[in-house]
Structure 1
């Protein structure tokens, strides 16, 4: 099973689970979502009996399979859902296919399980390349199978805005598409496909995504990345920029100097957007506001912004950025949501104490954030950026750099032993990032995410990969086959997944990591232009 349960022991006997088997007791709906085809019998004794035990954690469960049926005891709805996912993994891989088969043998077993971390996440960048709603719902299903429970949607960047706004309709009318896309490998002269690209989620789409995710115990974390990465926003509403000059939705990668103004009208604009996004998603305990890779030159050059900075008693543009992000975090707190930021925002200082920090530039800056009393979600480039190639082979599809392997992910420890107990207690969990500059479609996303996300699921659930992971992964791939996931085979890509011959090799990951590590000690530095 992946992730491996905390305790699992074999029992004598087995049970034949049939389509239409009865399920009764508490939390029946959660079990039926993980095991479709069950017949609910509220109040009766079913072949699968589900009970709630408040003494267990909300995501904890006990699962017992014997000759007379299945018993699930769970601390809450999530625990019952994860117990049913474990039960499903006890069935043959063919049980994930829609074949019409009526019964499956379940071995006798007793499982006691609970996650090590509450945040077990995947990030999907839908700004660089848009992924239709159907692909987001499918990803939620795959996350649920692996007990991953946070879907971080990167909804805006220089290259596109991806959600309807009824208050500011030019955002989805203008900012959601670009006329062409850069397709050249890193380090080569610019080339473009000359094909328009775009798309956005309506607020109704967002509401559906939120409800679909909640039913499967996944929390959607929307990201509105500010104040940098603003080309798409300013293409629609240049008055919210630091200069007022017109912009276009960016058609290339890398860092843009486009930046929002920190003045009150911009704060009002963004809080209106937050209201729309939170209102559509429903329960939204976290909102990510970015704060990364901000080029502050236009703020420093603006007399109006400089005067505003001085009126606030702030000495530098970096302090103004910290003030701006804190003002947005205060607005989100008033709306019942905790703010999440990338680590540059922490380095700039001034964050609300309840702000969650994602240290993409490495666990060193993550430790500094934890020591400062911030909760941390481990998101380091190495080994949790899944847009990187999986080996250094020239056969690998185009990537930003190489290489991050399944073994690299499996070896990751989100809360390192050398940290103090207080620092380790601040680690909420781990999250892998899929940036999509070079991920144009769902087939490529499948290849990049799986099976590395299987290793992430194990690490985030257990705290570290457990014994026998390689063997369990090899067996688990049969489930992904049955579900139609076009993952990267362990032996290397299929012929149709290989790199096109003219594409250049990516930058070695060791070179990039050295540059990124140096950046974490300079609050005014930005991400190297490697994307």
Structure 2
């Protein structure tokens, strides 16, 4: 089973799931019961009709709540005549139901029946609960658009591995995927680019193929509802004030002057950022309003990463704004801008979630931090009093190459192997107990510059996401050899689900990209680069 449960005790015998099996669920678990019927019925023929279950009743699946269990935790007891699944809350029961699926043969993960059974569940008692409350995956749909149906499929794969946050990166220089009633050109213009880079940006090759797409408001509401049924929270991200060339292409008055710019066709960081006028701030506020209307979760991602200040240094408007506010430099202007976004989100009862660059100058109170530039940034955010999600690039960026194999498609970044991901520890050494408690979880990130299809995402994400699921769910101490043995049994489940993961023996011919050159990096080179990037943030800023 993946992730590995906390305790597992096998017993003699097995429960046989059949068309005679009934399901009894407490009223608060009607949603989990409906999902379980829809999931297990087609491949097994066990439709699990409602049934009244007595203490002596047999051939039943029972779903219930147990206040003695922790939130998101569960206890699964399987005997020869009953499956009893109790959870501390509905999320816990749902996670237990995912474990139940993994106790059945892989054929039961398919969408239709291909075997005759019998469908045996081994007699077992499992007690389990997650270590972290935030077990996330960031999916970049801005660089390469992922159609709604593929996002829903991705949600199901996250749920199978007991992840509970989908961070959707909806806007960037290369595309704007978020609908807006007030600013329709964001999708009419900003959602489409003339071409994309083929391979690493360092080779400056383009494919000559237009690319684009966007979601409607109802598409996004459907994704949110679908995820919620699987106890996954969708955290939307609108990257501000940098990574906004697509928005400036749609509405040039958002920029800092100069000739019109197109939606960016190259990877990397654009120098075109939002200006700091009241009009631009109102634009941001209106977008936050619309985001809050679609996404009900407590967090709103505002990005805040990789915002070049060159245009602000050359902008009379930005310089006047700094003088009016008494700000010493453009970094302080950036912090002021982020503070305005945080205040507006707070008016909706939401907290901002930003990349660790927003720590410069002191992040707004209540902001949650995505610490991507190494464990030092996780520690810095925690010591500054922020909730922090650990997602360092050298440990959990799933766009990084998986091995030194020359057949790896578009190899970029440092090698990030399955074992590397499994060894990742989200809580840095040296934190006090209170500081460590502020590390609310971990997140793997799927940047899609080099993933132009769901097949490419499958290859880069799996099975490394399986390893990450163990990091986010289970204890600090992990046995990689044990994980490898369980993974061998888990891969047939991915096969049944149609996931085109990276095989242990390496990429298959159609998974290579000889037409697109990469740019491998050495680990020492990347560590030195990160140290330089974070050198000025070694200690919390005054008043942070």
Q: TM-score range by the shorter chain?
A: over 0.9
Q: Choose the corresponding residue for 1:106, options 116, 121, 129.
A: 121
Is 1:33 the counterpart of 2:35? The answer is: yes
Report the Cα distance in structure 1 between the residues aligned to 2:508 and 2:219, rounded to whole angstroms: 34
Report the Cα distance in structure 1 between the residues aligned to 2:74 and 2:83, rounded to whole angstroms: 13
Is 1:307 the counterpart of 2:320? The answer is: yes
Alpha-carbon deviation of 1:132? 0.4
Is 1:344 the counterpart of 2:357? The answer is: yes
Map 1:96-495 onto structure 2 (within 5 A).
96-97=109-110, 98-100=112-114, 101=116, 103-188=118-203, 190-243=204-257, 245-281=259-295, 283-346=296-359, 348-464=360-476, 466-467=478-479, 468-495=482-509
CA deviations over 1:105-141 (Å, ceiling 9, x no partner): 0111001111000111111111111000011000000
SS class of match (2:489): helix
CA deviations over 1:64-105 (Å, ceiling 9, x no partner): 000121001111110110010011111111211222546410
SS class of match (2:113): coil
Report the Cα distance in structure 2 between the residues aligned to 1:107 and 1:44, rounded to whole angstroms: 21
Map 1:3-152 onto structure 2 (within 5 A).
3-19=3-19, 21-26=21-26, 27-34=29-36, 35-37=39-41, 38-41=47-50, 44-45=53-54, 47-97=60-110, 98-100=112-114, 101=116, 103-152=118-167
| 1:413 and 1:463 in contact (8 A); partners too | no
TM-aligned CA distance change 1:114 to 1:516, over 3 Å: same
Alpha-carbon deviation of 1:449? 0.4
SS class of match (1:131): coil
Which is worse superposed, 483-492 or 19-28?
19-28
| 2:25 and 2:33 in contact (8 A); partners too | no
TM-aligned CA distance change 1:472 to 1:315, over 3 Å: same
Equivalenced residue count is 520
CA deviations over 1:456-493 (Å, ceiling 9, x no partner): 00110014363311100111001001100000011211
SS class of match (2:264): coil
Alpha-carbon deviation of 1:357? 0.8
| 2:242 and 2:273 in contact (8 A); partners too | yes
| 1:410 and 1:465 in contact (8 A); partners too | no
| 1:332 and 1:339 in contact (8 A); partners too | yes
TM-score, length-scaled by structure 1: 0.94
CA deviations over 1:204-244 (Å, ceiling 9, x no partner): 10110000000011111111001111110000111122336
Matched with 2:542 is none
Report the Cα distance in structure 2 between the residues aligned to 1:505 and 1:339, rounded to whole angstroms: 33
Q: Choose the corresponding residue for 2:520, options 506, 510, 522.
A: 506
| 1:65 and 1:110 in contact (8 A); partners too | yes
| 2:177 and 2:213 in contact (8 A); partners too | yes
Alpha-carbon deviation of 1:44? 4.5
Matched with 1:529 is none
TM-score, length-scaled by structure 2: 0.92
| 1:459 and 1:465 in contact (8 A); partners too | no
TM-aligned CA distance change 1:355 to 1:122, over 3 Å: same
What RMSD in Å do the two structures reach over aligned CA positions?
1.7
Task: Detail structure 1 runs of 4+ shifted over 6 Å in the superposition.
Answer: none
